Amino acid sequence: MVHHVTLRDVAEYAEVSVTTVSNVMRDWPYVSHKTRERVLGAIEKLGYTPHVVAQGLRTGQTQAIAFVVPDLSNPYFAAIVSAAEDVAQEHGYTLLIFNSHENSDREAVCIRRAARRWADGLLIAQTAGAHSSSLDGLVTPHVAIDRVPEGYQSPSCTLDNFRAGQLATQHLVDLGHTHIAHLGGPTHTRPAQERLRGWQSVLAAHGLPSHYVQHSGNSWGCDDGYTALQNLFSTGDVPTAVFASNDRMAVGALRAIQERGLNVPDDVSLVGVDDIEISRFLNPPLTTVRQPLEDMARAAIDLLLKLIHAEQLETTQVVLQPQLMIRQSTTSPRTGSAT
């Protein structure tokens, strides 16, 4: 490896002390115009660029934020990470990513690695359920994002998934549906639990029955929605409306419905959650509940940066509101042709 240009090299070239060069770099005011010019010239000439690791050691700050994600290949999380990266860069921070693969053990490892003073702060979408084991005792500033264990009290930033479930279900009820099934997401995740609860609360408020399809899978994919709905059909139960816990599952459900020769929305109305890119382009375009992912990522990073800089926090638990996007996959049920 070739020797790298250091502060010392610049100092020697410009015939000043190392400290002075450092001062120039850090825009310390008490450097005379003349020497500043000379130092700047030397820096330019030698192509000096600061050694972030050395700075990190000295200052105790790495200007990096770690993000522990359950599943990076999931477009939903990819979008969140993307937004987080933007905000982090804006503030001069670099994002480190750790994929926990929806596995609590791997997650714990990720957190431990991240906390080894790699990162100034930690952003985490927890895969674990109730026990927040891996996080407590963690000294590194951290903010929980998207998924938060029940009863979690530390700073966090989430979406109102309960409300999302309500919005979707209320929309179906308003259209006149009385036979509304739910395709639940992975039961160990908070968002899936909350959306389910939202759905239940609306049905209960209207005295309607809960035709719940608990999908057995461990993920939010298209095939989960597909097989879940196939299972429902195989029981002979055909609802007039289906609320899927996310858009990808809704896509799978859509396929299952169409394969059975039924029409969306005439025979079955369908609602998803997330409003991923393709939702608008499905046939029919999918009614869904939009989640402000970018806002969430932004809020979470803002929170984390305040934590890192030990600033005063007014609100420590940010909850963002979803928005119903009505498209063509939902309509009133046919009168008289139920089941």
Partner DNA sequence: ATTGGAATATTTAACGTTTCACATTTCAGA
Partner DNA sequence: TCTGAAATGTGAAACGTTAAATATTCCAAT
Interacting residues with DNA (CB under 7 A)? 4, 6-8, 15-20, 22-23, 25-26, 29-32, 34-36, 48, 50-51, 54-55, 57-60
Which of 35, 75, 129, 187 is in the footprint of a copy of itself by CB under 8 A?
A: 75
Q: Examine residue 30 and tell whether it contacts a copy of itself (CB under 8 A).
A: no
Query: Token pair 């279900």 is at which residue?
Result: 169
Q: Minimum distance between the CB of residue 252 and a copy of itself, rounded to whole angstroms?
A: 6
Orientation angle between helical segments 161-174 and 190-205, nearest 10 degrees: 40
Q: Examine residue 255 and tell whether it contacts a copy of itself (CB under 8 A).
A: yes
Q: Examine residue 31 and tell whether it contacts a copy of itself (CB under 8 A).
A: no
Contact 121, 65 (CB under 8 A): yes
Q: Examine residue 118 and tell whether it contacts a copy of itself (CB under 8 A).
A: yes
What does the alpha-carbon distance between residue 322 and residue 120 come to, in Å, rounded to a whole number? 31
Closer CB to DNA, 8 or 260, in the complex: 8
Q: What is the DSSP string of 179-206?
A: -EEEE---TTSHHHHHHHHHHHHHHHHT
x-or-dash string of contact with a copy of itself, 176-215, rule CB under 8 A: ----------------------------------------
Tokens of 20: 């002075």
Contact 99, 130 (CB under 8 A): no
Q: Minimum distance between the CB of residue 98 and DNA, rounded to whole angstroms?
A: 21
Closer CB to a copy of itself, 109 or 324, in the complex: 109
Contact 213, 231 (CB under 8 A): yes
Contact 241, 264 (CB under 8 A): no
DSSP state of 270: E
Rg (CA), the chain: 26
Q: Tell me which residue of 171, 193, 123, 175 sits closest to 272, measured CA to CA.
A: 171
Given DNA, a copy of itself, none, residue 275, with its beta carbon under 5 to 8 Å by kind, binds none
Q: Minimum distance between the CB of residue 232 and a copy of itself, rounded to whole angstroms?
A: 17
Q: Minimum distance between the CB of residue 37 and DNA, rounded to whole angstroms?
A: 10
- Which of 260-290 are b and which e, b meaning 16 or more Cβ less than 10 Å from the residue's Cβ? eeeebbebbbbbbbbbbeebeebebebbbbb
Given DNA, a copy of itself, none, residue 8, with its beta carbon under 5 to 8 Å by kind, binds DNA
Given DNA, a copy of itself, none, residue 218, with its beta carbon under 5 to 8 Å by kind, binds none
Q: Minimum distance between the CB of residue 33 and DNA, rounded to whole angstroms?
A: 7
Q: Which helix (H) or strand (E) holds 71?
A: none
Task: Summarize as ranges the residues that interact with a copy of itself (CB under 8 A).
Answer: 1-2, 4, 49-54, 56-57, 60, 62, 64, 71-75, 78-79, 81-83, 85-86, 89, 94-99, 112-113, 115-118, 139, 221-223, 226, 248, 251-252, 254-255, 258, 277-278, 280-283
